[in-house]
Amino acid sequence: MDKKYLQWLKLALSLEAVRLFLLLVAALVVFFAVKRVLVKAIRSFSARSQNKLDDLFAQYKVFDLLSFLGPILVLHFGSGWVPRLASLLGKVVSVLWALFVALLVDRLLSVGLSVYEQYPISKRWPLKGYVQVVKLLVYCAAAIVAICALLEKSPWGFLSGLGALSAVLMLVFRTTLLSFVASFQVISQGLIRVGDWIEMSKYGVDGEVVDITLTNLVVRNWDKTLVTLPTYKLLEDSFKNWRGMEEAGGRRIKRAVLVDQNTVRFCDDGLIERFRKIHLIREYVEKRVKEIEEHNRRLGIDPQASPVNGRRMTNLGTFRVYMEEYLRQHPQIRKDMTLMVRQLKPTPEGLPLEVYAFVADTRWVYYEKIQADIFDHLLAAAPEFDLRVFQIPSGGDLKEGLRALGGRGDGKG
């Protein structure tokens, strides 16, 4: 019985198909053994260690490639066991080697990129796009090696044949090539970095750059939506980068108080006395009154004869000076940057007194609070100068006016 079994086994092993089957089974067993035992043990050790590098190796599954290495070695050294299929197995092993090397380089590049992105310089010089280019070239090289191994052709001859397809390849990869060139220019010139606030109203972009890849720019808008934009669009169209504002340390206020022009008038003695009690402009009022009196006296002008004779102070001009002095005394306004209050062209909505200054805190929420506090004060201070802030009449205003007219009509009746 044992002799018959041995003879049957010997006959079975002499068949190429059986040997090939056993070789594939051995490769499969090695694959699962390495994956379930060796890789699992390495992952467990990596999780317990305090070294962050092995955590990245585990995260990007570098250790998992060991389970593919085992079967490749089994097929490589066991191909001689099936002489008739040795040539075919050799080609398959060459393809597997090319794939294994490509995957290994890909994952090692991912690990290196993750390490690089932990340093602050990565925001200024992001390398993700370049790493993607290298990965693409690695996979292209692996594909060429695999195809040449199957066809038993030289890679150089294969590459020379691709020259005829260059026009087609450039058409197919047009967007990728344009984005790669644009990405290189954007990064090398420092036009955009991860973390920058950019605006491109044409494409609905208004937020923070979260990623710069080979082909795309990913922006998280302030409404938390994500916008993906081809990188080459940054060179085709204009965009606004707010990084300069953040680096300068000052965020601009450019907003106007609209004054009702019917309330603008010359200052009488009573109004000037009231202005003398305002701390911020007390010195200005004293100096201005003496200067005007001296000017009118020197030219022999009698300002009492007519309000328009000579020089006189106005409530609007004094309020403008007050606004500027208030900004100069404000602790959150940059004094080393442009600071002024200017009068703009009159409009149907009133006479604009525009505040042009820079807030020291560039953070959005704090900037809005500071700006609101400033204009709360200015709007409340306007009546102290006998000025009225212009406002388009609302339905309530019209109703009150009609009610007043109705009351007058009833009184006359």
Residues contacting 161, CB < 8 A, separation 6+ = none
Q: How far apart are CA 366 and CA 351, in angstroms?
A: 29
Contact 229, 347 (CB under 8 A): no
The tens-digit pLDDT sequence of the chain (413 residues) is 455 555 544 544 455 666 767 777 888 888 888 888 888 888 888 778 777 787 888 888 888 888 888 888 888 777 766 766 677 777 888 888 888 899 999 999 988 888 888 888 877 777 777 787 788 888 888 888 888 888 777 776 666 666 656 666 666 667 777 777 787 777 777 788 888 999 998 899 999 999 887 778 899 999 999 999 888 888 888 899 988 888 888 999 999 999 999 999 999 989 999 999 999 999 999 999 999 989 988 888 887 778 788 888 999 999 999 999 999 999 999 999 999 999 999 999 999 999 999 999 999 899 999 999 999 999 999 999 999 999 887 776 677 777 777 765 555 54
What is the distance of C-alpha 197 from the center of its chain? Answer: 5
Q: DSSP 3-state assignment of 377? A: helix
- What is residue 162's predicted lDDT score, i.e. its pLDDT? 62
**Cα–Cα separations (whole angstroms), residue 247 to 58, 78, 218, 241, 360:** 38, 64, 22, 11, 11
Which residue, 128, 232, 130, is CA-closest to 178? 232
pLDDT tens, position by position, 173-197: 677 777 777 877 777 777 888 889 9
Cβ-contact 252, 360 below 8 angstroms? no
The CATH code for residues 186-248 is 2.30.30.60
Q: Per-residue DSSP letters for 318-347?
A: HHHHHHHHHHHH-TTB-SSS--EEEE---B
Residue range 296-338, pLDDT digits in tens: 888 888 877 787 888 889 999 999 999 999 999 999 999 999 9
Nearest CA among 357, 355, 356 for reference residue 334: 357
Q: What residues does each domain of the chain span? A: 16-125, 186-248, 249-265+314-413, 266-312
**What angle (nearest 5°) sits at the alpha carbon of residue 71, between those of residues 65 and 76?**
120
The answer to whether 142 and 101 are in contact (CB under 8 A) is yes
User: 392 Cβ partners below 8 Å, 6+ apart?
Assistant: 349
> Which CATH fold topology does 249-265+314-413 show?
Alpha-Beta Plaits (3.30.70)
CB 388 within 8 A of CB 260: yes
- Rounded to whole angstroms, the Cα distance separating 356 from 254 reads 5
- For residue 358, the SS3 value is strand
255, 375 Cβ separation under 8 angstroms: yes
72-87 b/e (C-beta count within 10 Å ≥ 16 → b): bebbbebbebbeebee
Closest to 246 in 3D by CA, of 200, 192, 196, 206: 196
